[in-house]
Amino acid sequence: MVDRLNNSTGVLGALKYLQSSTRDLAETDKRISSGLRVNSPRDDVTAYHTAAIMKAQGSSLNAVTLSLGRAESISDTAIAAAEQISKLLIQMQDSVVAAMNEDLTDDQRQAYMTKFAGQKKQIEVFVHNASFDDSNILDGSKPNGVSFIADSDANVTLTLAGRNFLPGIGIVTLEDDNDLHTPQNAAETKKELDQSIKNVGEQLAAMAGERKRIEAQMGFVSKLADALAAGVGRMVDTDLAAESALIQALQVKQELSAHAVGIANSAPETLLSLFRN
C-alpha cells in the first residue's frame, strides 16, 4: 500500500465533502428557521431588490388603507347623522299638519309650537355631533370637502363633499320665521318642511354614492396589497416542504462524509503497521 507522507489526498477529499455538506446544512437550517429563501442580496440579488421595491409599495398601500379607513369613518358618521335628520323632519310633519287646523286652542297650538321648536333645535345638535377625528362635513366648516389619498403614489384622491345641514342655510330650508303661530304660518312651514325632506334625501343619495366609491377603492387596494404580499412571498419565502426533504438528504450526506473522513484517517495507521512488523 502506497500513500503520501506530507499530504493525505484521501483525508483532504473526504474533509472537503464533509465541510461542503456541513455548510449546505447550515444554509438550509437558516432558510428553515428564518422562513426566507432570500435573506440578503448575496442569496439572490435580483429577487432581493425586486422584493424590496414590492415591500415598499406594500407599506405605501398600508398608508392608503389607513387614509381610506378614515374616509369611511367620516362618511359613516355623516350619513348616520343625515339619516337621523331625515327621520326627524318626517316626524316634524305631524306637528305642522296638526297646527294647520283652525280650531286649536291656544294651549294646543302652543304645545305644537314648543315641540316643533325643540325638534328644529335637535337638527342642530345632530349636525354639530356629526364629527369624526375633528372632521365634520355637515356643518359647513369644510366647504371644499375632505380629500384622502387613494393610491400608493398619492396621485389619486377621493373627496367627501362638504355640506351644510344647519336649518335655514339651503339643505334644511326651515327658517327662524317658520313657525306654527297661525294655520297660514303652519301651511307655509309645511312647504319648507317638504322641500327640506326632499333636499336631505337627495344629499343622502349623493353621500351614499361617495361611500360606495370609497368602499370600492378600499377593496381594490386590499386586493393589490394581497397580490404584492403574495409576490414577495413567491420571491423570497422558503419552500418548507422542499427544504425539509433537503435537510434530511444533507444530514445523510454529512454523516457519510464524516464516516469517509474516519476511513481516510485510518489509512495512515494501516501504513504505519507495516513498519511495526
Q: Residues 214-261: pLDDT tens digits?
A: 999 999 998 988 888 888 877 776 765 666 666 667 667 767 666 666
Residue 14 counted as domain residue: yes
Contact by Cβ (8 Å): 211, 161: no
Residue 223 counted as domain residue: yes
The answer on 247 and 137 residing in a single domain is: no
pLDDT band, residue 138 (cuts 50/70/90): very high
Contact by Cβ (8 Å): 174, 134: no
pLDDT at residue 131 is higher than 60:
yes
pLDDT tens digits for range 150-200: 888 878 889 999 999 999 888 999 887 777 888 898 899 899 999 999 999
Q: At what angle do helices 45-99 and 106-128 cross, to 10 degrees?
A: 170
The answer on 224 and 269 residing in a single domain is: no
Contact by Cβ (8 Å): 72, 214: yes
Residue 63 counted as domain residue: no
Domain limits for position 268: 9-35+238-276
pLDDT value at residue 68:
93
**pTM, two decimal places:** 0.71
Residue 2 counted as domain residue: no
Residue 149 counted as domain residue: yes
Residue 48 counted as domain residue: no
Residue 216 counted as domain residue: yes
pLDDT value at residue 2:
44
pLDDT value at residue 55:
81
